Structure 1
């Protein structure tokens, strides 16, 4: 595909050289080179492959976050989650990172155990959606129970490392 696009771009540039003034030819050649570069860059994006090491890294971060939730380790949670993190609860309620961490710290949300059943990954541009089927044993705003909760988390590489972004 890359070879065909490169050859087509070259042939178009050659054809354009036979028509018009030198200034027009130069502009047309530059435009053809720009198109070739754009195609090459889009091909590189498509070639990005999510490796098992990437998946393992995301799972490790997610498990570290869950253990910090159980331990009420606010320092670790604060370090793992970006400042613009938004928690989305099974009810659809959203909380800022600050609000959610405050509820964990003050005991409004107590997490006791996480039981995973499956991880799946899908790449969406520069982000990866990690879906987790899990059951959570917790006491949330006074109600204790074990609930099946989807654990969808978005990850993105920032400064060369995977980070939870949502």
Structure 2
């Protein structure tokens, strides 16, 4: 059973669906604390910008998920849109409602989310998550 829900009335092209599916896969991986999947999806240059402005590298982000500092329970992806830079780079823009316990605080936060993707060897990878 998935803990990730897409809330949207529009349909997506096949290539837009690839990116959206990859984001869903990522959201489920943070919920499941799937270190191997997170390591696969995020590029080495990945950067997370928290809503507080705090910036984290790939390893810092994964480490805080694995040690229980960041705990995600449910994700709702609301009205996602895919914007294209070129055939190898795209950006997903959406509101993402996350039910989580973050730095000891339980809550549900709706994040104004921008995720940058890059296609490498036929697969989409995250380079930045700005929320």
| Superposed pair shares fold, TM > 0.5 | yes
Counterpart residue number, 1:110: 71
Highest RCO, 1 vs 2 (Cα 8 Å, sep ≥ 6): 2
Whole-Å Cα distance in 2 between the matches of residues 98 and 112 of structure 1? 21
Counterpart residue number, 1:27: none
Q: Which runs of 4+ in 1 moved over 3 A?
A: none
Higher helix share: 1
Whole-Å Cα distance in 1 between the matches of residues 14 and 53 of structure 2? 32
Whole-Å Cα distance in 2 between the matches of residues 160 and 116 of structure 1? 24
Q: What is the deviation of 1:96?
A: 0.5
Q: Looking at CA atoms only, which structure, 1 or 2, has the larger radius of gyration? A: 1
1:64-110 Cα shifts (integer Å, max 9, x gaps): 11111011110110011111111111111100000010000000000
Counterpart residue number, 2:100: 138
1:40-80 Cα shifts (integer Å, max 9, x gaps): xxxxxxxxxxx811111111111111111011110110011
Q: What is the deviation of 1:161?
A: 2.1
Secondary structure in 2 aligned to 1:165?
strand
**TM-score, normalised on structure 2?**
0.83
**TM-score, normalised on structure 1?**
0.66
- Greater Cα offset, 152-161 or 103-112: 152-161
1:98 to 47, 56, 59: 59
Q: Which runs of 5+ in 2 are unaligned?
A: 1-11
Cα RMSD between the aligned structures?
1.3
Secondary structure in 1 aligned to 2:45?
coil
Q: Which runs of 5+ in 1 are unaligned?
A: 1-50
Query: What aligned pairs does 1:68-87 form with structure 2 within 5 A after superposition?
Result: 68-87=29-48
Secondary structure in 2 aligned to 1:58?
helix
Query: What aligned pairs does 1:54-69 form with structure 2 within 5 A after superposition?
Result: 54-69=15-30
